[in-house]
Amino acid sequence: MPINFIVNDPLTVDSVPMRNQEPSANRKTGQAGFTFVEASPAALFDPGTEDFVFWQSREAALTAIQTWEILNGPLKKWGPQTANPDKLDLLPDADDDLNAYYDRQSLSFFHHTIGAETFFSGASTDVVAHESGHAFLDTLRPELFGTNITEHGAFHEAFGDCTALLTALFDQGTRQALLTVSSDLGSPNFVESLSEQLSSAVKKAAGPNHPAAEPRHALNKFKFQLPTTLPRSGPPATLTSEIHSFGRVFLGCFYDMIRNIFQNSSTLDEAALYSAAQTAGKLLISGAQQAAISPRFFQSVGRAIVIADQTAGGTNHQAISDAFSAHGILLGTMSALMPKASLAGPAPRFPGKAKMLSLDSATLKDIRRRIEAPAGSKFSFQELTLGDQEVVEATHHREVRLDQDSKELKGVVAYAPEPVLVGGVLKSAAVFNMLPDPSTTEDEVHAFVDTLLSNENISFDSKRRVAKAAAITGPNKSPLKYTTHIIKLIRGKKVLTRVRYL
């Protein structure tokens, strides 16, 4: 039995009309999938009804997975730290709010009524694909979920937006409609504009100056600035250090990368656009997998993208570097392949999956001394590839006290990753990145926490969901506000801990 499906966003049906189509099949055993709530059998339900939202959100989530698997192969498990690596809960209408989130247990969507109209975040494929993108990135780099560095969180948000963009571009009818309104992708259009209906609802409820009162645009002119120097919040047109806002810098890089690759095609048709989206999507995933987890993560991912392209023949080098430089990010990838300094101990060994990756004790002792880490401090290890150079990303997690940030954070600590890339030169260990600076790490963490405080993203209640006045005003305001962070007691310490991405 067919269903009604909005392939993009409810406010874009004039560009790509709602379709009648057969619902996607359930995920098979051995594939990562979803646990769905009970619903009516498939039928042509009207938009705005609970049954429509169920089938719409289900189809959108499965479409996002199809996009992901075209780019990255079979999705067999969700991230290793999810509550159930086999299945995430998909909650099409969890509560009353103008929001959606991923929390390692679910993709959760909401409704909110303004006047006579009820808005459902799960009715937008843009929104569902965005939250799915958080889950996809969590399978690649689970260590990014909870770091307290602005660019890491902003990349998570940008990756969700890139997933929504790719999900749209992988649909043939959408590509055809897009090229009739923007033949070179260089003018505003319904694809680069994301989550239009949810933004319009926020604008009606909270006014035009709310940060989410306008769609996030992939076609933008935002340029990179140090997040420590930016305002902590602001209206939609202002670039701030809030991660949804700051993520627009990387989103702009990615959209321009697609545009540049497409414009270099011999034929500027929908097939060439599909090819450009596939190329850019695969490079994005390679970049996300191989980027060192430094504070300047946008640049780190961009460099890893260029290196991945070079490995594949270097066809898109100029398209990539032009896209990033247009947003103030210079890549200079050749320097990333060069050793920076020698270290004590032998070159690292790469034992494969059978044995645990580590470094020689003399090498770790030398690293601790150089980055001013406490004696005996622990490291986590991950294998990365810089071109044809295998390196070990040895990551120290620096503890930063938050007493100075708020009286409510007295005695609370946050942890921030400090990566050191260790490779081999002849038979000796060597550093392949700039060594982390403790004062820079602490500045980044305090700026991040200040932004969380400014945007009321920290719950000082033990519950994950806090009943308090939301940023929505008016007679129909939501009574709930979902925060992103809580204070959690871990091994006797009060630790700032992320619980969800909104």
Q: What is the pLDDT of residues 400-411, one digit of tens each?
A: 999 999 999 999
Same domain membership, residue 481 and residue 413: no
Same domain membership, residue 125 and residue 107: yes
Residues 204/206/210/214 CA torsion (nearest 10 deg): -20
Average pLDDT of the segment spanning 422-447: 95
Same domain membership, residue 303 and residue 272: yes
pLDDT at 481 over 90: no
Average pLDDT of the segment spanning 367-382: 94
In a domain, 446, yes or no: no
Over the stretch 7-22, which tens digit does the pLDDT of each residue have? Answer: 999 999 999 999 999 9
Per-residue pLDDT at 461: 73
In a domain, 58, yes or no: yes
Confidence grade of residue 464 (pLDDT, cut at 50, 70, 90) = very low
Between 174 and 385, the higher pLDDT residue: 174
Same domain membership, residue 199 and residue 169: yes
In a domain, 447, yes or no: no
Same domain membership, residue 425 and residue 311: no
pLDDT at 333 over 90: no
Confidence grade of residue 205 (pLDDT, cut at 50, 70, 90) = very high
Of 72-76, 311-315, 384-388, highest mean pLDDT: 72-76
In a domain, 295, yes or no: yes
The domain boundary, picked from 272, 299, 331, lies at: 331
In a domain, 461, yes or no: yes
In a domain, 448, yes or no: no
Same domain membership, residue 253 and residue 179: yes
Is residue 107 within 8 A of residue 135, CB to CB? The reply is yes
Percent of the chain with pLDDT over 90: 90
> Comparing C-alpha atoms, which of 159, 190, 177 is closest to residue 273?
177
In a domain, 72, yes or no: yes
Work out the burial of residue 373: count CB atoms within 10 Å of its CB; fewer than 13 is exposed, 13-18 middle, 19 or more buried: buried
Same domain membership, residue 299 and residue 354: no
Is residue 316 within 8 A of residue 261, CB to CB? The reply is yes
Can you give the residue range of the structural domain that contains 353? Answer: 338-441
Q: Give the mean pLDDT of the chain.
A: 93
Same domain membership, residue 382 and residue 311: no
The domain boundary, picked from 311, 331, 351, lies at: 331
Per-residue pLDDT at 300: 95
In the chain, the number of structural domains is: 3
Average pLDDT of the segment spanning 235-241: 98
Same domain membership, residue 351 and residue 325: no
The domain boundary, picked from 395, 418, 441, lies at: 441
Average pLDDT of the segment spanning 35-47: 93
Over the stretch 53-112, which tens digit does the pLDDT of each residue have? Answer: 999 999 999 999 999 999 999 999 999 999 999 999 999 999 999 999 999 999 999 999
Same domain membership, residue 256 and residue 228: yes
Confidence grade of residue 356 (pLDDT, cut at 50, 70, 90) = confident
Same domain membership, residue 306 and residue 199: yes
What are residue 396's DSSP bridge partners?
379, 418
In a domain, 83, yes or no: yes
**pTM value?**
0.95
Same domain membership, residue 134 and residue 89: yes
pLDDT at 475 over 70: no
- How far is CA 294 from its chain centroid? 16
pLDDT at 246 over 60: yes
- Residues with Cβ within 8 Å of 283's Cβ and at least 6 positions away in sequence, in order, are 257, 305, 308, 309, 316, 320
